[in-house]
């Protein structure tokens, strides 16, 4: 069985300071891991994905995540927060497969990021 735990329901940072959103996963299989972002009244946008041996993954808008198998973690970071980063962030796990077989995504509870001026 697969599951995802996002350790913080809400994170608040000041503009220009680093962002850390924490995610731990559990998977019986080798996982693929994703971070999605949801801005108010918008859909779910893919930020980044881990699907291979490169454990440090770079995504859009300056976000990164590092896959740490020993810690079963996939934390999302950004060196310097921007006001436009305020949104809800979801950590997602699925079974890793090169060729899509229609596998379902398992979502975490979400972390709401607030950015103060």
110 interacts with another protein by CB under 8 A: yes
Taking the least distance from each CB to another protein, the nearer of 39 and 68 is: 39
Which two three-digit tokens encode residue 13? Answer: 């940072």
Q: Under a CB-based contact definition with an 8 Å cutoff, are residues 8 and 108 in contact?
A: no
20 interacts with another protein by CB under 8 A: no
What is the helix (H) or strand (E) element at residue 4, kind and residue range?
A: strand 3-6
46 interacts with another protein by CB under 8 A: yes
51 interacts with another protein by CB under 8 A: yes
Smallest separation (angstroms) from another protein to the CB of 51: 5
Taking the least distance from each CB to another protein, the nearer of 56 and 98 is: 98
Smallest separation (angstroms) from another protein to the CB of 80: 26
Q: Which of 106, 111, 113, 115 binds another protein (CB under 8 A)?
A: 106
Q: Which of 23, 32, 21 lies closest to 4, judged by CA?
A: 23
DSSP one-letter string for 18-73: -EEE-EEEE-SSPEEEEEEEE-TT--EEEEEEE-SS--EEE-GGG-EEEEETTTTE
Q: Which residues bind another protein (CB under 8 A)?
A: 32, 34, 36, 41-46, 49, 51, 90, 94-110
């Amino acid at each position: 069985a697969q599951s995802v735990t996002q350790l913080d329901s809400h994170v608040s940072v000041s503009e220009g300071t680093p962002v850390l959103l924490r995610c731990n996963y559990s998977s019986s299989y080798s996982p693929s891991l994703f971070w999605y972002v949801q801005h108010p009244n918008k859909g779910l946008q893919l930020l980044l994905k881990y699907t291979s041996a490169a454990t440090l993954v770079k995504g859009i808008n300056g976000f990164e995540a590092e896959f740490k198998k020993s810690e079963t973690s996939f934390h999302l970071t950004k060196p310097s927060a921007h006001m436009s980063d305020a949104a809800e962030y979801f950590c997602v796990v699925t079974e890793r497969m090169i060729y899509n077989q229609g596998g379902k995504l398992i979502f975490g509870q979400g972390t709401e990021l607030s950015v103060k001026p």
